[in-house]
Amino acid sequence: MSSAKPSSTVEASLTALAVSLRGVTKVYDTGVMALGPLDLAVRKGEFISLLGPSGCGKSTALRLIAGLSQASSGTVRVSRHEGEVQIGHIRQGHGIGFVFQEPTLMPWSSVRENVRLPLKLGGIAKAEGRARADAALASVGLADFADAFPRELSGGMKMRVSLARALVTDPDILLMDEPFAALDEITRFRLNNDLLALWRSLGKTVIFVTHSVFESVYLSQRVVVMTARPGRIQADIRIETVEPRGEEFRTSAAYSDYCRRVSAALAPSYSGQSTL
């Protein structure tokens, strides 16, 4: 799969980049090398998936992009409203929304207050914050649940709240760390469709970490397959199909063909190695 990287580098020079990683590595305090060296370029408005075996560092890569963790070497560049800046030198977060694997809601606050949190921390007035939180909730179909408490919601609804919270600051980049992994398949399919609809209407850059081949192919324009730890790029596969995608894509021959290709790219990381 050596053809993948040069082509994305060419594109990188033609169109604006949202995120670029150059030679990024992450070594934990224990001496374990978790990631890299990793080179990755994500165009503005692109929907890409990072796919790989557990422990390959895909979540670590996401945390590096979010600035929640610092790279051991290499550069992480994230483009924002103000232009390109180095992570760590400015107050973070306003250009980035993050959705964790768990809903990560504050159980002591109502749904509306949970969604308003990023605005509250950013010093935005309460009335405006509430209005924007309600709008974000409406965009994920939860307008009627603003006053509920997280424990009163189902797993899928909690995940929607988490998504609304990530969208409330109107970020350019949405980072999602296996957000639907804990949900049942039917709920996951519905959320996949809703996420695609949101992505089309809002035009955000989405970096989606998953360990599901099917989910990655269904959602993204590009599937970046990573190797086992330390994670590097194994393959970079472009998914081209008729847009907008819908349920008919999920059952099409093209879809199963892409799934086969992605699975084949993933195979070296689970066959022949006994580390996991």
Partner 1 sequence: MNAQAPVPAKPSGAQSAVRFVLPIIVFAAGLAVWELVVRIREIPPYVLPAPSAIFLTLIKDWAVLSQSLAATLLTTLEGFVAASIGGIALALLFNQSKWVEYSLFPYAVVLQVTPVIAIAPLLLIYLEQQTAVVVCAFIVAFFPVLSNTTLGLNSVDRNLAGLFQLYGASKPQTLRFLKLPAALPYILGGLRIAGGLSLIGAVVAEIAAGTAGAGSGLAYRIAESGYRLNIPRMFAALLLLSLAGIVIYGVLALISHLVLRRWHESALGKEN
Give the end-to-end CA distance of the chain in Å, rounded to a whole number.
24
Q: Is 102 in the site for partner 1 (CB under 8 A)?
A: yes
Which of these segments, 26-34, 94-102, 195-203, 218-226, binds partner 1 (CB under 8 A)? 94-102
Please state the closest distance from residue 167 (CB atom) to partner 1, in A.
13
81 near partner 1 (CB under 8 A) = no
Residues in CB range of 86: below 8 A, 6 or more apart: 75, 77
Amino acid at 83: G
Structure token digits, residue 58: 């895909």
The least CB distance from residue 243 to partner 1, in Å, is 31
From candidates 100, 187, 202, 252, binder to partner 1 by CB under 8 A: 100
Contacting residue, 92, 187, 193, 252, with partner 1 by CB under 8 A: 92
Shortest distance (Å) from residue 92 CB to partner 1: 6
Question: Which CB atom, from 126 or from 260, has the smaller least distance to partner 1?
Answer: 126
For partner 1, give the closer residue by CB, 37 or 95.
Answer: 95
> How far is residue 125 from each of residues 114, 116, 143, 149, measured CA to CA in Å?
15, 10, 21, 22
Residue where the block lists tokens 């557990």: 54
Contact 114, 165 (CB under 8 A): yes
Q: What is the DSSP letter of 15?
A: S
**Measured from the CB of residue 97, what is the shortest distance to partner 1 in angstroms?**
9
Q: Point out which residues pair with 28 in neighbouring strands.
A: none
Size of the site for partner 1 (CB under 8 A): 26
Question: Do residues 172 and 207 lie in contact, with contact meaning Cβ atoms separated by under 8 Å?
Answer: no
Contact string (CB under 8 A) for partner 1, positions 50-69, x = contact: -------------x--xxx-
Per rule CB under 8 A, is residue 151 in the interface with partner 1?
Answer: yes
DSSP H helical ranges for the chain = 4-14, 58-66, 111-121, 126-139, 155-167, 185-202, 213-219, 247-250, 253-266
Considering only residues 5, 55, 104, 124, which one is a binding residue for partner 1 as defined by CB under 8 A? 104
Residue 89 beta carbon to partner 1: minimum distance, rounded to whole angstroms: 13
Stretch that binds partner 1, among 31-39, 90-98, 222-230, 241-249 (CB under 8 A): 90-98
Q: How many CB atoms lie within 10 A of CB 29?
A: 5
3-state secondary structure of 151: helix
Q: Which residues inside 202-231 make contact with partner 1, applying CB under 8 A? A: none
How deeply is 68 buried, as exposed, middle or buried, from its count of CB atoms within 10 A (0-12, 13-18, 19+)? middle
Out of 42, 96, 164, 207, the only residue in the binding site for partner 1 (CB under 8 A) is 96
Q: Is residue 150 a contact point for partner 1 (CB under 8 A)?
A: yes
Residue 155 binds partner 1 (CB under 8 A): no
Q: What is the DSSP string of 161-189?
A: HHHHHHHTT--SEEEEESTTTTS-HHHHH
Q: Which spans of this chain sit near partner 1 (rule: CB under 8 A)?
A: 63, 66-68, 91-94, 96, 98, 100, 102, 104, 106-109, 117-118, 120-122, 149-151, 169
